[in-house]
Chain A
């Protein structure tokens, strides 16, 4: 999937990755910085959300600071069972992202739970549903996190 974006779309995406003003009419502030109008930028953001160019627009919560947990985990899934195991893992609402990766540990997913004990429960459910051992990689230290990508 590669979207067709014009110059204003790209500047808008870059600007909106830096933050969003906490004022009555924030789109007015964004538009002024880009030499556009509030109506124009808002319409573009609606379109970028609808077409999936933006996967989210809003506050990005640090779940651990709210008492929850994020844990990266992996499975070594036999190739012939890949679709079945994908369905079982994805069925859990605690699974926020799931990627296939090139390795013997070929399925990597993030468990996100509101309470710390939810992680062990989710792992137990996955192991019971799949019969596979979940490798959990909770973070020990966070050195850097910033998902901004230049459009």
Chain B
């Protein structure tokens, strides 16, 4: 599923990774900088959306600014034979923003399912964690919730200009 970006896609990614220009005609502004037409810019963006290389074009709010001050990384030791079925079920819960299977790191880290739960307070997050626990039932052998206590860095991805 990997397709290295061609030159124009790559230049478009570099031009937009910090964001779209906040002007009335943003695609014209990008096109002028890249030396192509605005139609070409939109066609490239539409193609990257269709292929999944762009998840979405839009806004990412700072969840603290919206009052979502509790952020719990819930982690679960789930029976490997049921991880796909249960991971998909957990991912469908509306308060789960990310859900992944990841490798364990025994003996330090027995957990293989990670589900991020955001809430306006810790009690709300823990209610969500309780829902996940009931859903996993006896397929879960252990769990923990790691609350974030400080954001140490948040820059998002940056690829080089070279």
Residues of A within 8 A of B (CB): 1-3, 5, 13, 16-20, 22-27, 38, 42, 45-46, 48-49, 51-68, 70, 72, 76, 86, 89-90, 93, 95-105, 107-109, 112, 114, 135, 137-151
Given A3-B65, A61-B17, A143-B88, A20–B57 Cβ distance below 8 Å? yes
Given A24-B28, A53-B61, A59-B54, A145–B97 Cβ distance below 8 Å? yes
A-B contact pairs, 14 of them (CB 8 A): A20-B58, A42-B23, A52-B62, A54-B62, A57-B19, A62-B54, A66-B13, A90-B153, A93-B158, A99-B148, A100-B150, A114-B159, A139-B101, A141-B100
Q: Are A100 and B149 in contact, with the CB atoms below 8 A?
A: yes
Q: How many whole Å from B24's CB to the nearest CB in chain A?
A: 6
Q: How many whole Å from B70's CB to the nearest CB in chain A?
A: 12
Q: How many whole Å from A90's CB to the nearest CB in chain B?
A: 5
Residues of B within 8 A of A (CB): 1-5, 13, 16-20, 22-28, 38, 42, 45-46, 48, 51-69, 71, 73, 83-84, 87-88, 90-92, 96-103, 105, 108-109, 112, 114, 118, 144, 146-160
Name B65's contact: one of A2, A100, A142 (CB within 8 Å): A2
Q: Are B22 and A46 in contact, with the CB atoms below 8 A?
A: yes
Q: How far is A53 from B63 in the complex, measured between Cα atoms in Å? A: 8
